[in-house]
Amino acid sequence: MSGKSVAVKQQRNRKPLYVGLDVPMFFTIVALLSFGLLMLYSASWQYSVSVMGEKSSFMLERQVRFLLLGGVVAIFAFYFDYHRIKKFVVPMMIFTLILLLMVIFYVEEVRLGAKRGLLSGSVQPSELAKLVTIIYLAFWLHSKQDYIKDMKFGIIPMAFILGTSAALILIQPDLSAAITIIIIGGTMFYLGGGEIRQIIPAIIISVLAGALLLVFYDTGKERIATFIAGIEDPSTASYHLTRSFEAIVRGGLFGVGIGRANTKFTGLPVAPTDSIFSVIVEETGILGATMVILLFVIFLWRGLTIAKNAPDMLGRLLASGITVWIFLEAFINMSVLVNLLPFAGNALPFISYGGSNLTMVLAGVGIVLNVGRVTAIQNNEEEGKTLNAVVNLRRNDGWRSVPRNRRPSSARK
């Protein structure tokens, strides 16, 4: 066989360079964001005019600005090796705790029974706390691998970390955000090497603490009572759930059409934020809602796949923690509106109106994709490739291959 034939065969058998971007994850996020902007405008234009006193596109324009900001943060996080975050972890955590304290002591405005935002409610530190706590726990668990099962050096410090963040959020009060942090912390502790027998007591203590809080938290008691009443008899459910059920029933299988929902005009509470899934079901039907659920399931699958293939425990903890957080937020939001869970107030990631949530979610997604990118870099280096190499996009389709530099015939003599 001639040297030219061998070279051609090697070129055809060469594996294409994997550049590190998880394509299914990327297009899933793009689909959720695009559909989210469409549904947000449908749910918010009347709310912007009648409630906020602004033009009809006010909420959409603000969401687009935060989307651009979050996109820039996500791109930066994608190219910034997650191992280098280590030197920023402690300052980030301290800064977050300071913001949470500022909400408690310096914010006087109360919205929906809680104090949660700085700068007239535009910045919600609890959203930042979710992401920063995950990052901090990932680095802490990674550094404590030898002591993770030890009560004194593992479990107690872990409980202190989670308890501090959760307690400051509970004081606002934001029960759903505090519960989310505790659930994610328990999940990461297990993935970091902890055992179920260690996690169960912590969960029991957290549940008892939450139950004790409800005794003094009127809004929490009311939500539990209406949740139980709605299970016993849907006709006695809260006003919020009643309107949500109405939207879902009106939507049927195929929906009434985008922009044609009525409940968002006739009293569905906070349609652009907490209740946007009800608007989705009414306008796109069960089929549209199923599509949204399927996109979040794909997101969970790809995120956990990236975590599974990560080159080290730190990458696995970061990718799995952030993925579970975003999926859990979506699960809680959608479950609340069909009375599977007590009302919580969680946003629907990528879709609900809210700059703090959208920015933090996109930052988290950038970190997850970065774990995949670092994995690809290491895999390529093991195969003798670099990310700067030419990618064989033509595969084995018979087209002419990308020309390579060849030595002149005189040099081969």
pLDDT at 413: 42
Q: How many CA within 13 A on the CB side of residue 164?
A: 16
Helix (H, G, I), strand (E, B) or coil at 111: strand
Nearest CA to 350 out of 301, 248, 277 is that of 277
Q: Where are the domains of the chain?
A: 20-382
Give 211's contacts (C-beta < 8 A, 6+ positions apart).
Answer: none
**Pairwise CA distance, residues 369 & 26, whole Å:** 8
**Pairwise CA distance, residues 150 & 148, whole Å:** 6
In angstroms, the first-to-last Cα distance of the chain is 20
Q: Report residue 154: phi and psi, to 5°.
A: -120, -65
The β-bridge partners of 359 are none
Nearest CA to 242 out of 217, 224, 268 is that of 268
pLDDT at 282: 94
pLDDT at 405: 45
Nearest CA to 246 out of 254, 233, 235, 257 is that of 235
Give 226's contacts (C-beta < 8 A, 6+ positions apart).
Answer: 237, 238, 241, 342, 343
Provide the residue count of the chain.
413
pLDDT at 409: 46
pLDDT at 79: 93
Nearest CA to 359 out of 174, 128, 181, 134 is that of 128
Q: How many CA within 13 A on the CB side of residue 100?
A: 26
What are the pLDDT tens digits along the chain (413 aa)?
A: 555 554 445 444 444 444 578 999 999 999 999 999 999 999 999 888 888 888 889 999 999 999 999 999 999 999 999 999 999 998 998 898 888 888 777 654 555 555 555 656 567 888 888 899 899 989 988 887 766 666 555 566 667 777 777 777 776 666 777 778 888 887 887 777 766 776 676 666 666 665 555 555 555 556 666 656 555 556 666 777 888 888 888 989 999 999 888 888 888 888 898 889 999 999 999 999 999 999 999 999 999 999 999 999 999 999 999 999 999 999 999 988 887 777 777 889 999 998 889 999 999 999 999 999 999 888 877 766 555 444 343 334 443 444 444 444 444 44
If phi > 0 it is left, if psi is from -120 to 50 it is alpha, else beta; for residue 5 that is: alpha
Look up residue 52 and give its DSSP letter. Answer: S
Helix (H, G, I), strand (E, B) or coil at 123: strand
Give the angle subtended at the CA of 74 by the CAs of 70 and 78, to the nearest 5°: 175
Helical packing angle, 23-50 and 355-382, nearest 10°: 170
The β-bridge partners of 114 are 111
Taking 3-state DSSP, the helix, strand and coil percentages for the chain, each rounded to the nearest 5, stand at 70, 0, 30
Contact call for residues 367 and 318 (beta carbons, < 8 A) = yes
The β-bridge partners of 123 are 118
**Pairwise CA distance, residues 279 & 250, whole Å:** 10
**Pairwise CA distance, residues 396 & 133, whole Å:** 46
pTM of the complete model:
0.80
Q: How many CA within 13 A on the CB side of residue 284?
A: 18
Helix (H, G, I), strand (E, B) or coil at 43: helix
pLDDT at 166: 73
**Pairwise CA distance, residues 166 & 114, whole Å:** 15
Look up residue 374 and give its DSSP letter. Answer: H
**Pairwise CA distance, residues 188 & 156, whole Å:** 15
**Pairwise CA distance, residues 198 & 233, whole Å:** 38
